[in-house]
Amino acid sequence: MSVYHSKIFMSSKSIRIEKGSGNVFADIGVRDPEESLARAKLAKELTNIINQRGLTQTEIARLLGIDQPKVSKLLNGRISGFASDRLLRFILALGSDVKIEIRRNKGAGNRHGKLRVVAA
């Protein structure tokens, strides 16, 4: 991360601003940051789908096979307890297609591959 110093407008105090890596979970030291970012993106897309459908939380809960409070948790971004595969099943249950693409990275050597979620 790069570090920038800046002055707050109308103040003589200097604040430290760090440029992020593009993954907030990696920046704050979360274990498995790529998985956490993927789950967050899946939850965001699920929320978009739910909002587009215009259904009530009770109707969504019935479609997903969960109770209404869990739908509320999802819609409010509280995704602990929701694994990636469960979020994918919810997206499928709401009528969206999911494509999983696996590509081999010949230059990866011993490092792990990358996980990305791209919504169309």
Q: Which of 46, 119, 34 is nearest to 79 (CA)?
A: 46
Its pTM stands at 0.74
pLDDT in tens, 23-57: 888 888 888 888 999 999 999 999 999 999 999 99
**In the chain, what are the domain boundaries?**
1-30, 31-120
Q: How far is CA 76 from CA 40, 57, 59, in A?
A: 12, 12, 17
Q: Which CATH number fits domain 31-120: 3.50.30.60, 1.10.260.40, 1.10.10.10, 2.30.110.10?
A: 1.10.260.40
Residue among 17, 49, 52, 21 at smallest CA distance from 34: 21
- Give pLDDT, residue 69: 96
Q: What pLDDT score does 79 carry?
A: 92
Q: Above 80 in pLDDT, residue 4?
A: no
